[in-house]
Amino acid sequence: MPTPKDRATLSEQPSTTNLTVCQPKESLMQPTNRLRTITIATCATLVLVLTGIRCTSATPPAPTDTPKIPTYTYKTVVGKVVWPSTSTIDQTALAAIPAAEREKLKLSGVPVLVPSDPKFLRTAITMDPSENGYSFGPAEWVDGLDTTITGGHVGDSSDAPVPDRLYEPDPNGIDIGEFKNVSVGRGESLTWEATWGGYGHVGYLMSLHCKDRTDPRCTDNKYLIELVRSLVFVGGNFIPYETTILDQ
């Protein structure tokens, strides 16, 4: 059993012990508080920096309007056909065309024009005859030449900024016989071509191709011009189409 002296000694020891124990606690808490203080200060600094960047950064330009791609409508145009009198049919040329091909000509929705020279008619064929038009030419080379004529009255009409006529007249065109404003020029593969309009709103294309590229008939446009001048009317279906527009 402790003596009073011992108790007095013991009573002094806890005080010393408590002081010793408390000092480590304070020493351990100081880094945590300091870390918390540093963290808060760092966050505050980042907020200020980011806020300053946001406030001082230039305002982005307003987005420009996206260019609009124009859209256009297209419609099929059936051009007006003004038929010549049946009395103007060239019977000599018509008789020179093979019988089966003569029957096909009656299907054409536009006046059928053919060269008057029989050599271009004896072996000729009528291609794709319909109410829209026709094509006519020899099935093989004739005297070293390939000649084809095509006529039609169906095209496209559009609100696009381009001409909507079936045939756009050439300001430099020439008159050849009864055909006005004929455009004559070089085509592809050493071909000469002539285009024109007539009989209302009918467009025609005649082409000339020489088997021998040195053939003088294909060195200039003179022979083609004479072929156009020689064209004669041989028939068609004689349906008086008026100009109509059909939605495609």
Asked whether residue 48 falls in the same domain as residue 90, the answer is: no
Residues in the chain: 248
pLDDT tens readout for residues 35-83:
454 454 454 444 444 444 444 455 666 666 677 777 777 778 888 999 9
Residues in the chain where the model's pLDDT stays below 50: 1-29, 31-32, 34-35, 37-38, 40-41, 43-56, 164-166, 248
Asked whether residue 91 falls in the same domain as residue 165, the answer is: yes
Asked whether residue 83 falls in the same domain as residue 197, the answer is: yes
pLDDT at 77: 82
Assigned domain for 67 exists: no
Asked whether residue 214 falls in the same domain as residue 131, the answer is: yes
Asked whether residue 142 falls in the same domain as residue 232, the answer is: yes
pLDDT at 115: 97
Phi–psi pair at 223, nearest 5 degrees: -65, -40
Asked whether residue 170 falls in the same domain as residue 219, the answer is: yes
Assigned domain for 68 exists: no
Decide: pTM greater than 0.85.
no
Asked whether residue 11 falls in the same domain as residue 81, the answer is: no
Assigned domain for 236 exists: yes
Asked whether residue 123 falls in the same domain as residue 54, the answer is: no
Assigned domain for 158 exists: yes
| Radius of gyration for the alpha carbons in the chain, expressed in angstroms and rounded | 49
Residue-wise DSSP of 137-148: EESS-BTTEEEE
> Which domain does 218 fall in, by range?
74-247
Asked whether residue 52 falls in the same domain as residue 164, the answer is: no
Helix (H, G, I), strand (E, B) or coil at 98: coil
Helices (H), the chain: 4-56, 91-96, 99-105, 222-229
Question: Scanning the structure block, which residue is given the tokens 């008159």?
Answer: 175
Assigned domain for 65 exists: no
Assigned domain for 105 exists: yes
Asked whether residue 217 falls in the same domain as residue 194, the answer is: yes
Assigned domain for 85 exists: yes
pLDDT at 18: 42
Distance, CA of 93 to CA of 87 (rounded, Å): 14
pLDDT at 242: 73
Asked whether residue 83 falls in the same domain as residue 165, the answer is: yes
Assigned domain for 126 exists: yes
Indicate the number of domains in the chain: 2
pLDDT at 9: 46
Distance, CA of 97 to CA of 99 (rounded, Å): 6
Asked whether residue 22 falls in the same domain as residue 91, the answer is: no
